[in-house]
């Protein structure tokens, strides 16, 4: 029955990392983790290969974190790994793509032998520098950079590191609290792993890891066969910071795996929309898994099937010290870019393009009268446009894809700071027409409360370049950003919302799928009746 | 009233309606099939059966307590009233946009749940209250009247039967909601109107709006059902008050239930938790894991100090494999439990990774497990139990069902064994192991969400399937003690009879510990206590229980966090009002509670309370303590059968013992099965069973120091 035993233990491992993730959500301070679910947690073998990962994660973390632990082993040095240690970094290139994400890794020892690692990632409230936004021209301006180092050694926390963090970030208490939460949730995982090894009378996870990797590799390759061997290409234009960005992929598929090369993609930008390759890799792997093998668990073996390359100087292969703070804006489009390459081959699977990048914004609320005593506040909000229409279904209205995050309730946002959300509603007519209609975007109207003004950091895309329809479907509507007096806003960068004004965000819709003439007349009637289409 | 009290609990479930009659002479119970089109008929049939069995007269009935899935079913099947939502301008689509996320990360063809009220039936009104209760945009009478006309002037076949009103920040101030309700009722007096500041005065607009919509949606249906049931009961000769069990595990009057039917959702499982809590009190168990397994789902609940844990929100009508996020959120006080698709009818198969999967699809009662021979061909947990010898055709209690071992083997063989190249017994063992592992994992995650470690708990198992699987679950969770109470198969209905009159008021109001407004908090808590007390005394007024008026107990809680966190932990408050040191006191309590949950408090951070709860309940009667009973005698084994023991993965010759024949102090060493109508208890090789004074089966490890500790 070793087969069944291994299956049971595999499921147990997944439940252990879910517990680990849950412990993080419950204790985290950053809104992106606790409200939006922007986190990841996983367990690794002693070589740093990911065995299991919590299904709560968002793709940008999931796959980048899969690669991160090997970097930790190398930089810490195997001879300096002790029981009770905890390691940390926010290195965008060795972690998950920008300084706001801290990754923490704890080793697991059993009877004196290293048997596993637990790792987790969370987006913290602030890392100092200019604050969250795309305006920096070097990563140095984007905040404090913590290279891979020990957060704790043999159970003793590195107070010097905490002291440096405290003196370099806004909201120091919350950031330090989050670092403790990260390390603490790994400890939860370690306790549960020991209990499992006790129950099954095992010394380590090597044999189980081999079983999991073997099963996953075989099954993933099998699923990959639904895509004929060959070369596939696609090109997509998105807005970028000032100048539009061309994204290009050449996808090579053979029996062993799929490789994405991003040659032909625009060069890096002077501002923080650049993407470390590890992050682009994550959203490519996600595209392949979601299209070909949706039931496959994410682990070392399923991800090893998907590889990437990009030329030096390409926006999807940003290098230190290029700025990367809002790498998600371009990074999120990698999934639609790669799905587009196989859309003609898998016409029953691949949806039309969607709004793609989340419409996140960061508000620095400041008193209009500095002598008023009203305290400064930071507010972060996540919002989504429409997804692309699917071959047999309309797109999803105002729903994140490929990101896996949630929005925050307006009532909770208003409690977090001096903001009024006047409107957060679907945006009729924004979904691309088609046999299947693109998902609708949304309209958000917001402004400062009395006595405040906003430094409002925009990081919005698809304002110039719409989500394209597929197989005859129309494009989704572009996004728009403007003040209620008509003053247009740039889609990227920090701008002022004065007291008494309202800022209006119209989020883009998803592309349509198939000829609009073929749309079921009943769906056309329903769209009008419900006001999705005017 | 002749000869003391006589009470009935009736639980209308998805498959069966359970009716329990309790008199001074003992307890009588029956299970009848749920009659979907007129649930009161099944109830009355069941009532007639137990009353006849007890030789009693319905006229002597003192109390009738009822729980039903009717409201839940109406939400799942969308059979409620034609309902409109009126909301603040700018928020027409809140219930449709939900959390803007996908509950399944890897499904390109994901379908999000359809909003309860369609977009065309959602109407907006210009008005706006701020987070601290200021009027940002005044209520426009003229616009409101025009909207009322618009809602009223509809063709008959499109006329609204119910209207939900949900405005932004109405939990802070419900004036605008009440004003619109008044205008609406002037014009449409017959329409059922629900307002969010009464139904669910909690922050977070998606949850609150959805809750008020759900209440309005089921209200006409539930009100008429409750009236009908009441009338028919009286017509059959009953002359007693009828109470409903609510999702928080207390009793409410028919009038309250008709106004707030959303509080009836999940009332059956709540009864189960009350049942387990009562057993816990009798046995003096401070930490209990309640485990209820039926045909479709398993429910697990933590019970500490004889009180089930509670929550402020839960999800109903999950559309996708019981996945979190695929249902609709309901924000009301509820006994907190985790429910997963793991029951006797859960279907087993093999996925693309060659892994055995069980559930959440259930064969239900139609077509049922393969072994029922009612047309089911896919293997289920019940089929695996049969093949493993845990169930037997001889002792299976369901009337009219002749279990077929062959059919079970055929199904397991084709859907599992052949796919994985196992023999049928191995496949059955695998299916049982996977479903047990699923339940154990769910229990673990649920415990961690509550900051608990279940290893020190005692499990109480009930519902038809639980006694069979509880032993293995204990092994997996490292739980030492298991109790299977008498009446386990109708546990929820028995629980109804143990429920107090209770009501919990919930409010959102932000207070920071370092700028604490004692006066405002005292006023809030006192208003909430008044609200809860009036519900309870209202219900008590109709009660004809003789004797002294019952003592009311009040419990008060704050929901607190470090400023910046998003999840609050409950902090219990003392009875007295706060004084100028209130903030400090609260902060201290919070830090203690936080350490209990997460290991260590964080120094130097601001602390805040964002929600408050006041629960008023009749004092639980002092229960008779059941002392632990040591084994007095060994039960002579008359019969045995071969049963697969998962712990050792071997087939063992297990004793077969009739539960009816057992007396307190009797000991049976595992491996054994204790059989009774409607359920079977499995005692594995590494455990022993000792019958307790109240008839509970206590199952502990064989190497335990006897049950005397």
pLDDT tens digits for B603-630?
A: 777 899 988 989 998 887 788 899 999 9
Let me know: does A287 contact A249? Beta carbons within 8 Å: no
Q: With an 8 Å Cβ cutoff, are B100 and A398 in contact?
A: yes
- What's the number of CA atoms in the CB half-sphere (13 Å) around residue B106? 18
Query: Which among B204, B433, B476 is the nearest to A411, CB-wise?
Result: B204
Let me know: does A149 contact A85? Beta carbons within 8 Å: no
d(CA A513, CA A497): 38
- Ranked by mean pLDDT, the top range of A11-15, A447-451, B509-513 is A447-451
**Average pLDDT over all residues of chain A:** 93
pLDDT tens digits for A114-130?
A: 999 999 998 887 899 99
- A522: which 2 tokens? 């009943």
Of residues A511, A517, A487, A512, the one with CA closest to residue A501: A487
- What's the number of CA atoms in the CB half-sphere (13 Å) around residue B214? 33
Distances (CA, A) of B594 to B515, B582, B591: 20, 18, 5
pLDDT tens digits for B264-316?
A: 988 889 999 999 999 999 999 999 999 999 877 889 999 999 989 888 888 88
pLDDT at B709 (0 to 100): 35
| Residue with the larger pLDDT of the pair B32 and B469 | B469
| Residue with the larger pLDDT of the pair B325 and A351 | A351
Q: What is the mean pLDDT of residues B535-563?
A: 79
In the predicted model, is pLDDT for residue B455 greater than 90? no
- What's the number of CA atoms in the CB half-sphere (13 Å) around residue B505? 22
- A475: which 2 tokens? 């494009």
In the predicted model, is pLDDT for residue B4 greater than 70? no
d(CA B58, CA B19): 14
Let me know: does B355 contact B422? Beta carbons within 8 Å: no
d(CA B105, CA B87): 31
pLDDT at B464 (0 to 100): 84
Instruction: Tell me: cis bond preceding B360? Omega within 30 of 0 counts.
Output: yes
d(CA B614, CA B502): 11
Looking at the structure, give the CATH architecture of the domain made up of residues B6-75+224-263: 2-Layer Sandwich (3.30)
Strand A86-89 and strand A50-53: the pairing is unpaired
Instruction: Tell me: cis bond preceding B57? Omega within 30 of 0 counts.
Output: no
- Residue A348 neighbours by CB under 8 Å, 6+ apart: A391, A392
d(CA A354, CA A372): 44
- Please report residues of A whose CB lies closer than 8 A to that of B476: 199
Separation of CA A338 from chain center: 16
Dmax over CA atoms of chain B, in Å, equals 84
pLDDT at B548 (0 to 100): 66
Domain boundaries of chain A, sorted by first residue: 2-217, 351-534
| Residue with the larger pLDDT of the pair A240 and B705 | A240
Let me know: does B451 contact B280? Beta carbons within 8 Å: no
d(CA B108, CA A332): 16
pLDDT at B366 (0 to 100): 66
pLDDT at B433 (0 to 100): 92
pLDDT at B538 (0 to 100): 79
- Please report residues of A whose CB lies closer than 8 A to that of B96: 397, 426
Distances (CA, A) of B341 to A87, A418, B325, B364: 39, 44, 15, 11
Identify the helix (H) or strand (E) that includes residue B210: helix B205-235
pLDDT tens digits for B387-401?
A: 999 988 776 655 567
| Residue with the larger pLDDT of the pair B600 and B79 | B79
Let me know: does A44 contact A119? Beta carbons within 8 Å: yes
Size of chain A in residues: 534
Q: What is the mean pLDDT of residues A428-436?
A: 98
pLDDT at B313 (0 to 100): 83
DSSP E strands in B196-350: the ranges are 242-245, 251-253, 287-293, 298-304, 307-308, 310-311, 314-316, 328-330, 334-335, 338-340, 346-350
- Please report residues of B whose CB lies closer than 8 A to that of A506: none
d(CA A81, CA A75): 11
In the predicted model, is pLDDT for residue B33 greater than 80? no
DSSP E strands in B395-551: the ranges are 458-462, 481-484, 502-512
> Scanning the structure block, which residue is given the tokens 């949606």?
B217
- Number of continuous H segments (helices) and E segments (strands) in chain B: 17, 36
Domain B76-223 in CATH 3.40.1360? The answer is yes
Separation of CA A20 from chain center: 19
- Residue B393 neighbours by CB under 8 Å, 6+ apart: B386, B402, B403, B404, B405
Q: With an 8 Å Cβ cutoff, are A215 and B353 in contact?
A: yes
B627 burial type by CB count under 10 A (0-12 exposed, 13-18 middle, 19+ buried): exposed
d(CA A445, CA B176): 22
Point out the least confidently predicted range of A344-348, B145-149, B508-512. B508-512
Query: Which among A11, A171, A409 is the nearest to B441, CB-wise?
Result: A11
- DSSP3 helix / strand / coil % (chain B, rounded to 5): 35, 30, 40
Q: What is the mean pLDDT of residues A48-73?
A: 85
pLDDT tens digits for A489-499?
A: 999 999 999 99
SS3 B386: helix
d(CA B336, CA B328): 16
- Cβ of residue A31 closer than 8 Å to a chain B Cβ: yes
d(CA A341, CA A283): 14
pLDDT at B399 (0 to 100): 57
| Confidence class for position B1, pLDDT limits 50, 70, 90 | very low
Radius of gyration, CA atoms only, chain A = 23
- Cβ of residue A295 closer than 8 Å to a chain B Cβ: yes
pLDDT at B625 (0 to 100): 92
- Cβ of residue A173 closer than 8 Å to a chain B Cβ: yes
Instruction: Print the SS3 string covering A99-158.
Output: CCEEEEEEEEEECCEEEEEEEEEEECCCCCCCCCCCCCCCHHHHCCCCCCEEEEECCEEC
Q: With an 8 Å Cβ cutoff, are A18 and B445 in contact?
A: yes
A residues 77-116 closer than 8 Å to B (CB): none
Closest residue of A to B169, CA-based?
A411
pLDDT at B566 (0 to 100): 65
Distances (CA, A) of B317 to A367, B115, B220: 46, 12, 19
> Scanning the structure block, which residue is given the tokens 């003229």?
B142
- Ranked by mean pLDDT, the top range of A502-516, B254-268, B369-383, B452-466 is A502-516
In the predicted model, is pLDDT for residue B447 greater than 90? no
pLDDT tens digits for A323-339?
A: 999 999 999 999 999 99
Q: Residues B164-176, buried b or exposed e (16+ Cβ, 10 A)?
A: bbbbbbbbbbbeb
Distances (CA, A) of B175 to B91, B112, B131, B182: 18, 34, 14, 11
| Residue with the larger pLDDT of the pair B585 and A150 | A150
Q: What's the DSSP call for residue B514?
A: G
**Average pLDDT over all residues of chain B:** 89
Question: What stretches of B83-204 show up as alpha helix (H) in DSSP?
Answer: 94-97, 141-152, 175-187, 196-199
Domain boundaries of chain B, sorted by first residue: 6-75+224-263, 76-223, 502-618, 633-701
- Please report residues of B whose CB lies closer than 8 A to that of A407: 97, 99-101
pLDDT tens digits for B43-102?
A: 999 999 999 999 989 999 989 999 988 888 788 888 899 999 999 999 999 999 999 999
Q: Which CATH class is domain B502-618?
A: alpha beta
pLDDT at B429 (0 to 100): 94
d(CA A256, CA B630): 64
Q: With an 8 Å Cβ cutoff, are A27 and B565 in contact?
A: yes
Strand B63-68 and strand B6-12: the pairing is parallel
- Residue B668 neighbours by CB under 8 Å, 6+ apart: B634, B635, B637, B655, B657, B662, B674, B683, B688, B689
pLDDT at B705 (0 to 100): 58
d(CA A26, CA B451): 10
Instruction: Tell me: cis bond preceding A402? Omega within 30 of 0 counts.
Output: yes
Q: What ipTM was estimated for this complex?
A: 0.92
- Please report residues of A whose CB lies closer than 8 A to that of B206: 409
Sheet-wide strand order for B251-253: B26-33, B16-23, B6-12, B63-68, B242-245, B251-253
In the predicted model, is pLDDT for residue A264 greater than 50? yes
Q: B17 to chain A nearest CA, in Å?
A: 35
In the predicted model, is pLDDT for residue A163 greater than 60? yes
Dmax over CA atoms of chain A, in Å, equals 74
Point out the least confidently predicted range of A496-500, B250-254, B351-355, B566-570. B566-570
Q: What is the mean pLDDT of residues B693-704?
A: 91
Separation of CA B488 from chain center: 16
DSSP E strands in A202-358: the ranges are 230-238, 245-254, 257-261, 306-309
- Cβ of residue A144 closer than 8 Å to a chain B Cβ: no
Query: Which among A22, A393, A420 is the nearest to B130, CB-wise?
Result: A420
- Please report residues of A whose CB lies closer than 8 A to that of B118: 530
Point out the least confidently predicted range of A67-76, B549-558, B679-688. B549-558
Q: A321 to chain B nearest CA, in Å?
A: 31
pLDDT at B545 (0 to 100): 59
B397 burial type by CB count under 10 A (0-12 exposed, 13-18 middle, 19+ buried): middle
The model scores a pTM over 0.80: yes
In the predicted model, is pLDDT for residue B590 greater than 50? yes
pLDDT at B547 (0 to 100): 59
- Cβ of residue B135 closer than 8 Å to a chain A Cβ: no
- What's the number of CA atoms in the CB half-sphere (13 Å) around residue B30? 18
pLDDT at B599 (0 to 100): 58
SS3 B467: helix
- A380: which 2 tokens? 């972060």
In the predicted model, is pLDDT for residue B546 greater than 70? no
Sign of the alpha-carbon torsion through B425, B426, B428, B432: positive
| Confidence class for position A206, pLDDT limits 50, 70, 90 | very high
């Amino acid at each position: 029955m070793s087969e069944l035993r291994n299956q049971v233990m595999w499921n147990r491992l997944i439940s252990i990392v879910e517990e680990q993730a849950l412990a993080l959500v419950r204790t985290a301070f950053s809104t992106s983790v606790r409200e939006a679910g922007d986190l990841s947690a996983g367990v690794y073998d002693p070589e740093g290969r990911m065995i299991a990962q919590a299904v709560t994660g968002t793709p940008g973390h999931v796959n980048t974190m899969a690669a991160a632990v090997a970097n930790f082993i190398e930089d810490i040095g195997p001879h300096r790994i002790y029981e009770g240690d905890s390691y940390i970094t926010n290195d965008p290139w060795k972690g998950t793509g920008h300084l706001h994400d801290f990754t923490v890794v704890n080793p697991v020892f059993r009877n004196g032998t290293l048997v596993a690692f637990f790792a987790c990632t969370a987006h913290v409230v602030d890392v100092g520098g200019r604050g969250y936004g795309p305006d920096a021209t070097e990563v140095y301006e984007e905040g404090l950079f913590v290279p891979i180092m020990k957060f704790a050694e043999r159970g003793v926390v590195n107070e010097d590191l905490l002291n440096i963090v405290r003196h370099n970030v806004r909201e120091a208490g919350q950031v330090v609290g989050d670092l403790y939460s990260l390390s603490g949730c790994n400890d939860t995982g370690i306790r549960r792993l020991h209990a499992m090894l006790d129950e099954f009378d095992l010394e380590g996870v090597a044999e189980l890891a081999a079983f999991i990797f073997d099963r996953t590799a075989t099954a993933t390759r099998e699923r990959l066969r639904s895509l004929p061997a060959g070369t596939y290409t696609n090109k997509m234009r998105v807005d970028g910071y000032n100048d539009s960005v061309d994204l290009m992929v050449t996808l090579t598929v053979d029996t062993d795996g799929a490789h994405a090369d991003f040659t032909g993609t625009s060069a890096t930008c002077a501002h923080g929309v650049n993407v470390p390759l590890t992050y682009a890799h994550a959203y490519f792997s996600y595209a392949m898994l979601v299209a070909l093998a949706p039931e496959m668990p994410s682990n070392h073996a399923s991800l090893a099937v998907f590889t990437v390359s990009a030329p030096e100087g390409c926006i999807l292969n940003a290098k230190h010290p290029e700025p990367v703070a809002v790498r998600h804006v371009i990074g999120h489009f990698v999934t639609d870019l790669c799905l587009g390459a196989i859309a003609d081959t898998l016409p029953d699977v691949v949806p039309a393009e969607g709004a793609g990048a989340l419409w996140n914004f960061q508000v620095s609320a400041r008193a209009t009268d500095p002598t008023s005593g009203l305290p400064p506040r930071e507010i972060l909000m996540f919002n989504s446009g429409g997804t692309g229409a699917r071959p047999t279904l309309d797109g999803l209205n105002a729903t994140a894809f490929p990101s896996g995050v949630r929005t925050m309730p307006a009532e909770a946002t208003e409690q977090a700071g001096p903001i009024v959300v006047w409107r957060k509603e679907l945006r009729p007519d924004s979904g691309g027409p088609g046999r299947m209609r693109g998902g609708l975007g949304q309209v958000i109207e917001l402004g400062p409360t009395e006595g405040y003004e906003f430094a409002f950091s925009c990081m919005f895309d698809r304002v110039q370049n719409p989500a394209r329809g597929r197989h005859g479907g129309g494009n989704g509507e572009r996004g728009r950003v403007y003040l209620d007096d008509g003053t247009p806003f740039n889609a990227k960068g920090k701008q002022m919302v004065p007291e008494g004004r309202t800022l209006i965000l119209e989020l883009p819709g998803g592309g349509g799928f198939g000829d609009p003439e073929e749309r079921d007349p009943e769906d056309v009637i329903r769209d009008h009746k419900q006001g999705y289409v005017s | 009233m002749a000869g003391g009290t006589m009470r009935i609990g009736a639980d209308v479930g998805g498959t069966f309606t359970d009716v329990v009659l309790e008199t001074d002479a003992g307890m009588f119970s029956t299970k009848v099939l749920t009659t979907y089109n007129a649930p009161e008929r099944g109830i009355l049939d069941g009532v007639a059966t137990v009353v006849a069995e007890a030789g009693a007269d319905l006229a002597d009935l003192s109390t009738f307590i009822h729980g039903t899935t009717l409201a839940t079913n109406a939400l799942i099947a969308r059979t409620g009233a034609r309902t409109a939502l009126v909301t603040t301008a700018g928020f027409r689509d809140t219930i449709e946009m939900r959390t803007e996320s996908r509950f399944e990360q890897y499904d390109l063809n994901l379908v999000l749940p359809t909003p309860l009220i369609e977009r065309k039936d959602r109407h907006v009104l210009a008005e706006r209250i701020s987070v601290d209760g200021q009027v940002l945009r005044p209520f426009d009478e003229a616009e409101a009247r025009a909207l009322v006309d618009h809602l009223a002037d509809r063709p008959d076949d499109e006329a609204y039967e119910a209207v939900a009103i949900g405005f932004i920040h109405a939990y802070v101030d419900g004036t605008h909601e009440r004003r619109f309700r008044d205008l609406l009722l002037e014009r449409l007096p017959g329409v059922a109107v629900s307002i969010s500041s009464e139904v669910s005065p909690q922050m977070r607009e998606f949850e609150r709006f959805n809750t008020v919509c759900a209440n309005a949606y089921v209200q006409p249906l539930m009100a008429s059902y409750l009236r009908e049931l009441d009338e028919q009961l009286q017509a059959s000769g009953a002359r007693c008050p009828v109470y409903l069990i609510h999702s928080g595990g207390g009793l409410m009057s028919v009038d309250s239930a008709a106004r707030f039917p959303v509080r009836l959702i999940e009332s059956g499982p709540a009864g189960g938790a009350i049942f387990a809590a009562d057993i816990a009190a009798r046995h003096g168990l401070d930490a209990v894991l309640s485990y209820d397994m039926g045909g479709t789902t398993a429910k697990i609940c933590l019970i500490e100090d004889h009180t089930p844990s509670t929550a402020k929100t839960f999800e109903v009508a999950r559309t996708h494999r019981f996945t979190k996020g695929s249902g609709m959120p309901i924000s009301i006080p509820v006994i907190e439990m985790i429910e997963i698709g793991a029951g006797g009818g859960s279907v087993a198969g093999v996925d693309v990774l060659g892994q055995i999967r069980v559930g959440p699809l259930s064969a239900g009662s139609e077509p049922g497990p393969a072994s029922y021979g009612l047309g089911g061909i896919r293997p289920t947990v019940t089929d695996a139990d049969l093949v493993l010898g845990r169930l037997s055709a001889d002792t299976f209690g369901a009337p009219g069902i002749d279990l077929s071992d062959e059919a079970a083997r055929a199904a397991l063989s084709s859907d599992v064994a052949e796919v994985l190249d196992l023999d049928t017994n191995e496949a059955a063992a695998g299916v049982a192991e996977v479903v047990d592992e699923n339940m154990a994992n769910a229990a673990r995650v649920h415990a961690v969400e509550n900051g608990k470690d279940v290893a020190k708990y005692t499990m109480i198992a009930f519902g038809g399937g639980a006694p069979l699987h509880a032993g293995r679950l204990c092994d997996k969770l490292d739980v030492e003690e298991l109790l299977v109470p008498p009446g386990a198969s109708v546990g929820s209905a028995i629980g109804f009879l143990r429920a107090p009159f209770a009501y919990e008021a919930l409010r959102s109001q932000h207070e920071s510990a370092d700028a604490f407004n004692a006066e405002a908090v005292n006023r809030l808590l006192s208003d909430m206590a008044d609200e809860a007390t009036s519900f309870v005394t209202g219900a008590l007024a109709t009660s004809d229980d003789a004797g002294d008026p019952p003592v009311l107990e009040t419990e008060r809680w704050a929901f607190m966090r470090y400023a910046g966190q998003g999840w609050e932990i409950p902090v219990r408050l003392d009875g007295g009002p706060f004084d100028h040191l209130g903030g400090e006191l609260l902060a201290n309590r919070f830090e203690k509670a936080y350490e209990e949950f997460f290991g260590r408090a964080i120094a130097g951070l601001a602390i805040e309370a964002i929600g408050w709860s006041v629960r008023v309940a009749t004092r639980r009667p002092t229960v008779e303590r059941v002392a632990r009973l040591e084994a007095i005698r060994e039960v002579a084994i008359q019969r045995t059968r071969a049963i697969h023991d998962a712990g050792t993965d071997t087939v063992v010759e297990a004793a077969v013992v009739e539960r009816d024949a057992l007396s307190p102090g009797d000991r049976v060493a595992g491996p054994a099965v204790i059989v009774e109508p409607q359920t079977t208890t499995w005692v594995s090789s590494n455990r022993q069973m000792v019958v307790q004074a109240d008839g509970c089966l206590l199952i502990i490890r064989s190497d335990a120091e006897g049950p005397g500790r």
